[in-house]
């Protein structure tokens, strides 16, 4: 199963593509969609949307895993990220690819085995699971890879298989 992980944002949207088969993972590629600060916000959303359409066309994923939003203390930033996530979801929907959302704690639990793991622990375990010599940059791309791994571990689990077969 080819899984595209997405870490949504409006300045930087990270993406990571992995292949998952029988509990084993292979890193394929990662990167980021970026928009310039100071640009009209609607133009930034258009760039994200158009680049996401191209990314979906080129990567041909079987599934997309995207992080759910966590607002924390900066609600203003969260609103912009939510709008970015909306155009990303629209592009995914139009491409006809199944999409799955994961909370940050779910990603940490799936990758590290501990829902309160630090960002460094998630990146270290991601690097180990994929046999990478170094963690890809930017951090948003590394986070997207972890989101893809989370889906791979969830989708290939025995419980998920049992649910899908019933």
**103/105 Cα distance (integer angstroms):** 5
Q: Of the residues 46, 67, 124, 143, which is catalytic?
A: 67
- pTM for this prediction: 0.90
**20/65 Cα distance (integer angstroms):** 13
Residue 34 phi/psi, 5° resolution? -120, 150
Tell me what pLDDT residue 69 has.
81
More confident: 154 or 75: 154
**166/35 Cα distance (integer angstroms):** 44
Active site residue 50: no
Taking the alpha carbons at both ends of the chain, their separation in whole angstroms is 20
Q: Quick one: average pLDDT of 54-64?
A: 98
Tell me what pLDDT residue 22 has.
83
Q: Of the residues 7, 19, 62, 68, which is catalytic?
A: 7
Q: What is the CATH number of the domain that holds 95?
A: 3.30.420.10
Active site residue 7: yes
Active site residue 67: yes
User: For residue 88, what are the domain limits?
Assistant: 2-165
Percent of all residues in the chain with a pLDDT value above 70, rounded to a whole number: 89
Q: Of the residues 19, 124, 139, 140, which is catalytic?
A: 140
Q: Looking at the 3D structure of the chain, how many domains does it have? A: 1
């Amino acid at each position: 199963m080819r899984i595209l992980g997405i870490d949504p944002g409006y300045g930087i949207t990270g993406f990571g593509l992995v292949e998952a088969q029988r509990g084993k993972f292979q890193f394929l590629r990662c990167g980021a969609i970026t928009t310039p600060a100071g640009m009209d916000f609607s133009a930034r959303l258009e760039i994200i949307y158009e680049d996401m359409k191209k990314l979906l066309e080129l990567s041909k994923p079987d599934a997309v895993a995207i992080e759910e939003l966590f607002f924390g203390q900066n609600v203003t930033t969260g609103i912009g990220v939510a709008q970015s996530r909306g155009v990303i979801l629209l592009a995914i929907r139009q491409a006809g690819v199944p999409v799955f959302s994961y909370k940050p704690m779910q990603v940490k639990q799936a990758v590290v085995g501990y829902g309160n793991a630090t960002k460094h622990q998630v990146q270290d375990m991601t690097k180990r699971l994929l046999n990478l010599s170094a963690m890809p940059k930017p951090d948003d791309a590394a986070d997207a890879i972890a989101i893809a791994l989370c889906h791979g571990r969830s989708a290939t689990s025995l419980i998920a298989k049992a649910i899908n077969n019933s």
